Amino acid sequence: MPTRVLIVGAGAVGAFYGSRLACAPNVLVSALCRSNYKAVKSKGFQITSPQYQEYEFKPEHTFQSPEEVRKAAIGWDYLLVATKALPDLGDDSSLLEGLVGDKTAIVLVQNGLGVEEPYQRRFPNSSILSAVTIVSAAQPSHGVISHNRWTRISIGPFLPHLDSGGTGSKTSDNIATELNKHLVDLLQQGGISDAEAYDHAGLQFVRWHKIAINAAMNPSSTLSGGSTNQAMSNDPELSRHLLGVMNEVLDAAPKVLGQPLPKHLATADRILRSTQKNASGSKPSMAIDWEQGRRMELEVILGNPIRIAREKGLEMPRLQSLYALLRMAQENREKEGKSKI
Ligand SMILES: NC(=O)c1ccc[n+]([C@@H]2O[C@H](COP(=O)([O-])OP(=O)(O)OC[C@H]3O[C@@H](n4cnc5c(N)ncnc54)[C@H](OP(=O)(O)O)[C@@H]3O)[C@@H](O)[C@H]2O)c1
């Protein structure tokens, strides 16, 4: 039996990883699209990449609505969710209603903290795999995916009962761990050699570590008028601010997670030094979303980390200022009717 994967949110990240999974033996990948439906249905995805060159990815099925997916009545092994995480706009876990079978794993490839909760609430007995990627990819026009740099994706089963010393069900923990390993194997077979399997705690540290980068770069670029990561990290004042934000998050993470920060994760100084040398001219997605009048991933990148830390009695004042300012800017713009949301 082939492994069947449905990409939910087939934009830059979803289509890129979907296209790699489709290269693994005996894997059939389908896509649930939205605005790019017509283009993908007629021509599939055209992907360009410095690593994999130019290739085409034609999904087995291209769907235009969750209703259409439900009617197809396919038993999915993996539902790979790669929508932008915007819990303030709606609950994307509802897209999966009627698609999750006994053996289906829900895979969340999204930035931010707390992205798993809505899925766990709706599907409490299903395997949820949490994924963090550092890929740089974009969809400049419908169905055209440009993979720019990096491929690393870190994936771990989401087993939050382990955080509080709870036991949960050993069988379902083992199933989630096996499904996690299998997905990482498939990604590696599809050419993503740096796909990595983590356990629950390890993956949550990777999420916090990515938040250190995202919470520093994304809002700062937006508030400084769309500066590139490199320009910000070479500016004497902004670089101090970036270090301050990253250290704030990296100091909070071990206190929230109750374990020391794993040694393999880069320090804030190291991240800053490597960003100073990154001449790609890349700009964080939040700044691009702001420029295009779209909702920003403020809640999962800033709001949730602040709230999760606060529950443990910790304040992150630099993040809090960035969050308060940007949330109000977004609210004001929407009131003026200048947003596409
Ligand atoms: N791009 C990167 O380099 C990168 C790197 C690391 C992490 N990430 C994270 O990965 C996640 C995905 O980012 P992305 O850059 O791939 O975003 P994206 O290009 O905007 O892709 C999201 C896709 O989801 C679709 N979508 C949203 N709601 C949908 C719905 N209800 N039904 C069907 N499709 C729906 C969007 O359709 P529409 O076009 O119609 O809105 C879009 O095609 C985010 O959390 C982001 O922060 C991105």
Say how far apart CA 226 and CA 38 lie, in whole Å. Answer: 31
Confidence of residue 89 (pLDDT cuts 50, 70, 90): very high
> Percent of the chain at pLDDT above 90?
94
Query: Which ranges in the chain are annotated with CATH 1.10.1040.10?
Result: 203-335
Class of domain 3-198: alpha beta
Say how far apart CA 167 and CA 298 lie, in whole Å. Answer: 33
Average pLDDT (27-35) is 98
- The pLDDT value given to residue 140: 97
**Own/partner long-range contacts of 183-186 (Cβ < 8 Å, ≥24 apart):** 183/78, 183/105, 183/107, 183/129, 183/155, 184/155, 186/3, 186/21, 186/24, 186/27
Query: Which ranges in the chain are annotated with CATH 3.40.50.720?
Result: 3-198
Per residue in 179-228, pLDDT tens?
999 999 999 999 999 999 999 999 999 999 999 999 999 999 999 999 99
Task: Name the token pair of 26.
Answer: 């005996």
- The pLDDT value given to residue 214: 98
SS (H, E, C) 217-260: HHHHHHHCCCCCHHHHHHCHHHHHHHHHHHHHHHHHHHHHHCCC
* Ligand 1: centre distance to CA 139 (Å): 9
Going across the sheet that includes 127-133, the strands are: 62-63, 27-32, 3-8, 78-81, 105-109, 127-133, 153-157, 195-197
The residue whose two tokens read 């270090």 is 243
Q: Does the C-beta of 151 come closer than 6 Å to ligand 1?
A: no
Question: 96, 72 in Cβ contact below 8 A?
Answer: no
Per residue in 231-287, pLDDT tens?
999 999 999 999 999 999 999 999 999 999 999 999 999 999 999 998 888 899 999
* Ligand 1: centre distance to CA 110 (Å): 8
- The pLDDT value given to residue 338: 77
Say how far apart CA 298 and CA 255 lie, in whole Å. Answer: 23
Say how far apart CA 32 and CA 220 lie, in whole Å. Answer: 33
- The pLDDT value given to residue 318: 98
Task: Write the DSSP symbol of residue 99.
Answer: T
Residue 143 has pLDDT above 90, yes or no: yes
Look at the alpha carbons of 174, 178, 179, 183 in this order and tell me if their dihedral is positive or negative: positive
* Ligand 1: centre distance to CA 57 (Å): 17
Query: Worst-scoring range by mean pLDDT, 67-81, 165-179, 223-237?
Result: 165-179
Per residue in 273-324, pLDDT tens?
999 998 888 899 999 999 999 999 999 999 999 999 999 999 999 999 999 9
Average pLDDT (170-179) is 93
Per residue in 102-138, pLDDT tens?
999 999 999 999 999 999 999 999 999 999 999 999 9
CATH number of 203-335: 1.10.1040.10
The residue whose two tokens read 């899925």 is 119
- The pLDDT value given to residue 340: 76
* Ligand 1: centre distance to CA 41 (Å): 18
Q: Does the C-beta of 285 come closer than 6 Å to ligand 1?
A: yes
The residue whose two tokens read 């989630």 is 176
